[in-house]
Amino acid sequence: MKLEQEGLSEKNYDKWFKTMLWIDEIEREVNLQYYHLDGVDIEVNEDEHGELMATLHVPGVAEKHPAILAGDSVFVRLPSDQQPSWPYEGIVHDVRNETLHLGFGEEFFLLYAAGMKLNVQFWFCRSTYIRCHKVLQHYQKVLPILFPKPSTKFDEANLVSVDNYFDKNVGKNRMQKQAVEAIVNRVSAPAPYIIFGPPGTGKTSTMLEAIKQVYTRNKNDKILVCGPSNASCDILTEGLLKHIPASKVLRVNALSRQCSGIPQNVKNVSSRQADLISIPNMDMVRSYNIVITTYSSAYHVLPLIRENESKSWFSNLFLDECGYAMEPEAFIPLLALPKMVVLAGDPLQLGPVVSNVYLRENPFLKNFRLDISLLARLMDGEMYKAKGGQFNRLYITKLVENYRSHARILEVPNELFYDNQLEAKGDERIINSMLKWDKLPNAKIPIVFHGVNGREERRANNPSYFNVFEVAQVVEYVKQLIEEMNVKPGDIGIVTPYRDQMKKIRQDLLSKLGKVTNALLIGTPEAFQGDERLVVIVSTVRANPERLITSTARAYPEHLTRVPRAPARENLAQSQSIDYISSQLGFLSNPKVVLRCCVLLFEFSTVYSK
């Protein structure tokens, strides 16, 4: 383990991350073997275009057990007297709840007959891994970005101020304004500039303003904007289109993305042919001022990769939500070779989703971890660390004014993770609007902690849990909020880590309150990341503390509201309030479970128990 003893350095950067990528890929392959299916049925139907499509029911896929995404492969074997029979590859076109929609070659559909029992093996799309391996060989071209050193080039006396802001609120916020001016002046270059944005502090608004200011000041600049997901990129695209002509903006999507799932205004600026996504040629990419894509799909717009051109025309690179991406993935757009790089995110929130979650517990492999993002690694360096509670504004700005949450909801995460620097600056008419509700244990604190002595259950062969006792209480709270407080269903969010709990809550709401509740958002913590709701109800589901602590915490650490473990994941569980709540937070859980997991909740709310 010589490489581990050396530690990550400028000399071994490519070997270090290639090793971690191989470990992660092998573990993912091993994990998928546990989910092979034997003797299962599929259905074959025509899609809207008249093409044959197979559907396969996979219990647990909605819980990411197995974790299957569009573009992944499924290998099936038809019944045969010959052993083993020939496997046929199906490509996952879509994942809806517990159903996979698969495309196969013509031969498979000719041989398949209704009622055949098939054996199924799952495989994942390796494209991101392949791209990461390929770009890592060029890491020496961006060493000043990967291992930044303090710059002596910029004289603060030459700082050009920004006077006219597209978003007037950004211009009124001292820290947001500081970040925008630093980016426009490229004060940190070639080192990245970091926007450290705790949830609700206007990180996305700050980044959008900075992009617009850079574009406005020099119409010849070429800007690459990247996010970890299609959703984040679509939000950025829509924000930019408010002030920048559509003719200047290009949205590049993965070929596997369906046009039907793209917002219309984003689709209008997307590279496509009719209703099919296409990859633009480099002449087309050059013709736009702003190109927006995911970290992985940025591979398609890199001159170095597409044309073996070592001189890039991209002047600026913006990486949004950089804390979510594993470092080799965030490395891909760095090969745009920009003059200025901006990273935005919060290393204390959700980190990269990786397979090798157990490496931190392995004494031989604990340092080979992909769950530490580029953002987190850089912020752990001396240049970006706070000194005496203050950051060096030449390299990083921490946004501290929270516009979403009541001060008492901010209290615990603020103290635990943000050095008590967050300030509640939301509209008081909104953040105090629920204080009039007579169900609050404390009329000054918009938090209800409701202990439910229920029972966790799950269906056979399905990893998803549900708790009908909590379902009933969630529905009762929704009913009270709508009828007593006139809260609109669209202003209510329900967070729960299990798909079956979501399904039962939705069914019960429809049964008791009707279709009006369709406007409610019900999802996992990840689904609410960055979302805003007036009221959020959290149903933790689990009711057996011993089973939870001894098995689930190790087997499924990604379900964050169960057992907070690492600091970033603990922060998401504790500070869901800051991330997407304006004025009301309700927790429903078995008191014995939560007493073991998040005792701090009891310091500022009263417990009901049934």
Show me where the domains of the chain are located. Answer: 15-124, 143-399, 403-609
The predicted model gives 326-352 an average pLDDT of 94
Q: How confident is the model at residue 261 (pLDDT cuts 50, 70, 90)?
A: confident
The predicted model gives 478-482 an average pLDDT of 93
Least confident of 190-199, 233-242, 490-499, 530-539: 530-539
Highest mean pLDDT among 112-126, 226-240, 564-578: 226-240
Whether the pLDDT of residue 358 is over 70: the answer is: no
Instruction: Please report the sign of the dihedral spanned by the C-alpha atoms of residue 280, residue 283, residue 285, residue 287.
Output: negative
Rounded Cα–Cα distance for residues 496 and 500 (Å): 10
**What pLDDT shows up at residue 366?**
58
> Shortest CA distance to 252 belongs to which of 305, 218, 288, 208?
288
Which has the higher per-residue pLDDT, 82 or 85?
85
Cα–Cα distance list, 160 to 188, 191, 213, 306, 518 (Å): 14, 19, 12, 36, 49
| CB 208 within 8 Å of CB 410 | no
Q: Which CATH architecture has domain 15-124?
A: Beta Barrel (2.40)
Highest mean pLDDT among 229-243, 253-267, 302-316, 571-585: 229-243
Rounded Cα–Cα distance for residues 513 and 518 (Å): 10
Rounded Cα–Cα distance for residues 441 and 445 (Å): 8
Whether the pLDDT of residue 227 is over 60: the answer is: yes
CATH of 143-399, one of 3.10.20.30, 3.10.20.520, 3.40.50.10190, 3.40.50.300: 3.40.50.300
- Indicate the burial class of 600 (C-beta count within 10 angstroms; 0-12, 13-18, 19 or more): middle
**What pLDDT shows up at residue 399?**
97
Which has the higher per-residue pLDDT, 158 or 449?
449
Which has the higher per-residue pLDDT, 112 or 336?
336
Rounded Cα–Cα distance for residues 546 and 528 (Å): 28
**What pLDDT shows up at residue 210?**
98
Q: How confident is the model at residue 241 (pLDDT cuts 50, 70, 90)?
A: very high
**What pLDDT shows up at residue 596?**
46
Q: How many CB atoms lie within 10 A of CB 422?
A: 26
Rounded Cα–Cα distance for residues 587 and 608 (Å): 10
Highest mean pLDDT among 81-85, 442-446, 474-478, 587-591: 474-478
> Shortest CA distance to 43 belongs to which of 125, 97, 89, 104?
104
Task: Identify the residue whose tokens are 């990245």.
Answer: 192
Q: How confident is the model at residue 572 (pLDDT cuts 50, 70, 90)?
A: very low
The predicted model gives 446-454 an average pLDDT of 84
Backbone angles phi, psi at 127, to 5 degrees: -60, -45
Fold of the domain spanning 403-609: Rossmann fold (3.40.50)
Q: Do 403-609 and 15-124 have the same topology in CATH?
A: no
Q: How confident is the model at residue 96 (pLDDT cuts 50, 70, 90)?
A: confident
Task: Identify the residue whose tokens are 């859980």.
Answer: 589
> Shortest CA distance to 314 belongs to which of 343, 282, 332, 290?
290
Whether the pLDDT of residue 513 is over 50: the answer is: yes
The predicted model gives 233-259 an average pLDDT of 93
Please provide the size of the chain in residues. Answer: 610
**What pLDDT shows up at residue 160?**
86
Q: How confident is the model at residue 152 (pLDDT cuts 50, 70, 90)?
A: low
Which has the higher per-residue pLDDT, 71 or 606?
71
**What pLDDT shows up at residue 370?**
84
Average model confidence (pLDDT) across the chain = 84
